[in-house]
């Protein structure tokens, strides 16, 4: 995740006295909470989900590289090319080569459909991701709790 780096430049007063010591740099701003499974396992915090959705769909897309998967010329899903950084995806059974076909049973073929599925997480009680791995259908399932 890219972090903002603050650079402070302090100007000293003119004269014979040495310039004052620079004040310590303030801590970097806390990043928007990332989706991370909370306790218990396979559970997401509503607060974290809403915060993540509020950060925007484009922020999520910074964490995943995909390309369309076609079968007999028809859209099958999105093939995961890369997931970054790896720490963002810890505890999520998804990896390069997997083909994601839907989110919460919503289609994601078009950009607008994927965006709508992402936005629906604000009020959803679950996050289910259907995908194929090596030809076998799989599903990620997380409950979203308050």
**DSSP assignment string, the chain:** ----------PPPSSSSPPPPPPPPPPPPPPPPPP-PBTTTTEEEHHHHHHHHHH-HHHHHTTEEEEEEEETTEEEEEEEEEESSGGGGTT----TT-EEEEETTEE-SSHHHHHHHHHHTTT-SEEEEEEEETTEEEEEEEEEE-
pLDDT of 37 reads: 47
Separation between Cα atoms, residue 7 and residue 12, nearest integer Å:
16
Count of the separate structural domains present in the chain: 1
Q: What residues make up the domain containing 88? A: 43-145
- Within a domain: residue 114? yes
- Within a domain: residue 126? yes
- What is the domain-level CATH number for residue 55? 2.30.42.10
Using the structure block, give the residue that is written with the tokens 């099958």. 76
- Within a domain: residue 28? no
- Within a domain: residue 14? no
pLDDT of 35 reads: 56
pLDDT of 40 reads: 74
Question: How much is the pTM?
Answer: 0.71
pLDDT of 38 reads: 43
Sites in the chain below the pLDDT cut of 70: 1-39
- Within a domain: residue 94? yes
């Amino acid at each position: 995740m890219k972090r903002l780096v603050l650079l402070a430049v302090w100007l000293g007063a003119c004269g014979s006295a040495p310039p004052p010591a620079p004040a310590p740099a303030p801590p970097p701003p806390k990043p928007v909470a990332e989706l991370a499974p909370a306790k218990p396992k396979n559970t997401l915090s509503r607060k974290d989900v809403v915060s993540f959705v509020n950060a925007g769909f484009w922020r999520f897309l910074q964490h995943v590289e995909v390309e369309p998967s076609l079968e007999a010329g028809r859209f099958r899903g999105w093939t995961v090319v890369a997931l970054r950084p790896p720490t963002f995806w810890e505890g999520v059974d998804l990896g390069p080569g997997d083909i994601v076909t839907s989110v919460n049973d919503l289609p994601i073929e078009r950009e607008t459909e994927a965006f709508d599925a992402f936005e629906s997480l604000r009020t959803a009680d679950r996050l289910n991701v259907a995908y194929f791995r090596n030809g076998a259908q799989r599903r990620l399932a997380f409950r979203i709790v308050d």
